[in-house]
Structure 1
Amino acid sequence: MNLFRVTSSVLIGASLLTVAACGGEDAANTAKPAPAVTAPASSAPSSPAAAGAAGASDKELCNSAKKAGNDMKTALLAALKAGEPTAEAYSKILTDLAGTLTESAASGGDGKVTAVMKQVSAEATVVAGAADPETADSAAFEKAGADLTAACKAVGVNVNF
């Protein structure tokens, strides 16, 4: 059992280090949504009802999800650097992720990205509530994460959940 936990912790840490090394483009992506917000404002007079119903664009939601994922990875790496993370540490990291995704999804419309963000948030909450979030069966969480990755890729945002 301990060998499994150590092996899984090492693999999780290694994969997060790999993913964290690829995340150096946050500043460039964060700057891009501002012009996108300006563009719909100029087209809003032609379709104000559609603009009001849509909420945040899928690309904006995916950028929020990317930031939430990067924040989660940073928190996990910090916990790993401090030693063996506790169940409470994993739970807090997942709860923070769920809260951020829920808040971001609330600003979205009825699109696929919004629905998938809500699903990832719900599954993160389930895993966070497990007695040991590190070893909890998270097949539904992994599937929701893969669905969010695919939905964001479709709108041109590279996230990895």
Structure 2
Amino acid sequence: MLKKLSIAAAIAVLSISAQAQTANAFYVGSDIGSTKVDGLVDNKVSYGAFGGYKFNENVAVELAYRQLFKTDIGPVSVDGTQTAVSVLGIVPVSKEFQVIGRLGYNQLKANASYRGSSGSGSQNGTFVGVGVQYQFTANIGARLEFQKPASDTKNFSAGVTYSF
């Protein structure tokens, strides 16, 4: 699946190479949110960081790392993380406001510890997301987003972006 996503990203890059680059093509950001995993009692706080490159006003690629949750299940402490690469489709509604669609590939990792012993497991797969972004200035924006990293996991987040 990663090969298919890489090929799709390469085709997107090649197909837009003749178009002019947008100003402030590189960007970084961070977010904070809430993760719900089926089977856990309540939502858990998430936070993450991301960086990307905007090829034009409609296409970007992004790398991200997110702490999805930390929780205790009885005496066992569990934390879940997400490492992801994705392609963003961007629809400008106005000069400042955009709607974002995301298709990506991620690795979800869970680490568990119990009385000095620990173990981990991971799962790789595709994920999707939708959101909106508002540009306050050419460099500073705010983003609200919903992602579905796995079939049993949902994440809502609010973040800031800085373009350079």
More helix by share: 1
* TM-score normalized with structure 1 length: 0.26
For normalisation by structure 2, the TM-score amounts to 0.25
